[in-house]
């Protein structure tokens, strides 16, 4: 992917249709990447292609509003605008059916009863007993219920004007070990979220880092950590639950 600055070296060219189309083509993979991450755990009625189409509008918005003098890379800004546009549309659609809202609440209640908020781990069997389902149904249940938690956290760190926006990926440690504070200015909210991520257990932090920063799939993370894909999904779900509960107290 060529950089925006190479495709559009002068700001007055951003409104040139030919340049705009070239930029959209170059950054199309970014649209699909963001849409795919958001699509994870959403109901089957929400089509990935629809999210990609909405994300394209976010990219166009980013092209029109990007300010080269802000010192922010276009890719970072564009990803924020793409994510924000998709989240806005999902909110308007009231995308989560009542049944999934109930599942999300039931999962939250089960995690609380099992002491997950306090740092305790739980098994599929324990969750199944609390939820009143078979243990074999737990992975799918978690996948469906977790989509809401993922979006609620993403919405909390999204700033509509794009000036200070981000996601969980923005506050996880980078490969060089430098702190997020040294890389970019973070809002107070992101700083609080970062501290709560630091309170997660090692396995939860590993899963979040591999999923949001290294951009691995659940299956790939399972191979890296030598655990099942189902177990990765559960660890991911528990970590998001803890973060959501922590941020709700603000």
Q: What pLDDT, in 10s, does the model give residues 89-127? A: 887 776 656 667 788 888 888 988 888 866 677 888 999
CB proximity list for 19: less than 8 A, separation 6 or greater = 7, 8, 13
User: Which is higher by pLDDT, 131 or 117?
Assistant: 131
Q: What pLDDT score was predicted for residue 196?
A: 85
Which tokens in the block code for residue 6? 């190479």
* Average pLDDT of the residues in 185-192: 62
Q: Say what the pTM is.
A: 0.59
Q: Is the pLDDT of residue 203 over 50?
A: yes
User: Which is higher by pLDDT, 131 or 90?
Assistant: 131
Residue for token pair 């649209």 = 31
Q: What is the pLDDT of residues 29-80, one digit of tens each?
A: 999 988 887 887 676 778 899 999 999 999 988 888 887 777 778 888 888 8
Measured over the CA atoms of residue 243, residue 245, residue 246 and residue 247, the dihedral's sign is positive
Q: What is the pLDDT of residues 224-249, one digit of tens each?
A: 999 998 889 889 888 888 887 777 66
Domains and CATH numbers, the chain: 4-93 (1.10.1740.10), 98-248 (1.20.140)
d(CA 155, CA 180): 19
Q: What pLDDT score was predicted for residue 147?
A: 63
Q: What pLDDT score was predicted for residue 182?
A: 43
User: Which of 8-12, 15-19, 228-232 has the largest mean confidence?
Assistant: 228-232
Q: What pLDDT score was predicted for residue 2?
A: 62
* Average pLDDT of the residues in 123-146: 86
Q: Is the pLDDT of residue 87 over 70?
A: yes
* Average pLDDT of the residues in 4-12: 56
CB proximity list for 148: less than 8 A, separation 6 or greater = 41, 96, 100, 101, 104
Q: What pLDDT score was predicted for residue 174?
A: 41
Q: What pLDDT score was predicted for residue 132?
A: 92
Mean pLDDT of the chain: 76
Q: What pLDDT score was predicted for residue 119?
A: 65
Q: What pLDDT score was predicted for residue 14?
A: 52
Q: Please state, for a pLDDT cut of 90, what percent of the chain lies above it.
A: 16
Which tokens in the block code for residue 158? 């999204």
> Contact 148/100 with Cβ under 8 angstroms?
yes
Q: What pLDDT score was predicted for residue 84?
A: 84
């Amino acid at each position: 992917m060529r950089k925006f600055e190479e495709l559009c070296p002068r700001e007055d060219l951003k409104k040139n249709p030919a340049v705009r189309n070239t930029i959209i083509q170059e950054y199309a993979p970014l649209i699909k990447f963001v849409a795919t991450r958001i699509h994870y755990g959403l109901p089957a009625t929400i089509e990935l292609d629809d999210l990609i189409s909405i994300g394209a509008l976010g990219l166009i918005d980013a092209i029109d509003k990007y300010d080269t003098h802000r010192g922010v890379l276009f890719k970072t800004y564009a990803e924020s605008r793409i994510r924000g546009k998709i989240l806005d549309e999902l909110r308007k659609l009231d995308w989560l059916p009542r049944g999934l809202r109930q599942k999300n609440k039931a999962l939250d209640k089960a995690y609380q009863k099992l002491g997950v908020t306090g740092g305790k781990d739980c098994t599929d069997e324990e969750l199944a007993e609390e939820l009143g389902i078979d243990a074999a149904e737990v992975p799918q249940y978690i996948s469906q219920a977790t989509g809401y938690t993922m979006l609620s956290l993403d919405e909390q760190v999204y700033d509509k004007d794009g000036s200070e926006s981000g996601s969980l990926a923005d506050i996880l440690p980078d490969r060089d070990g430098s702190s997020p504070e040294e890389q970019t200015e973070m809002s107070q909210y992101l700083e609080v979220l970062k501290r709560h991520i630091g309170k997660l257990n090692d396995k939860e932090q590993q899963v979040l880092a591999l999923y949001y920063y290294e951009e691995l799939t659940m299956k790939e993370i399972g191979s890296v950590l030598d655990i099942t894909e189902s177990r990765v999904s559960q660890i991911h779900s528990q970590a998001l639950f803890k973060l959501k509960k922590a941020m709700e107290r603000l």
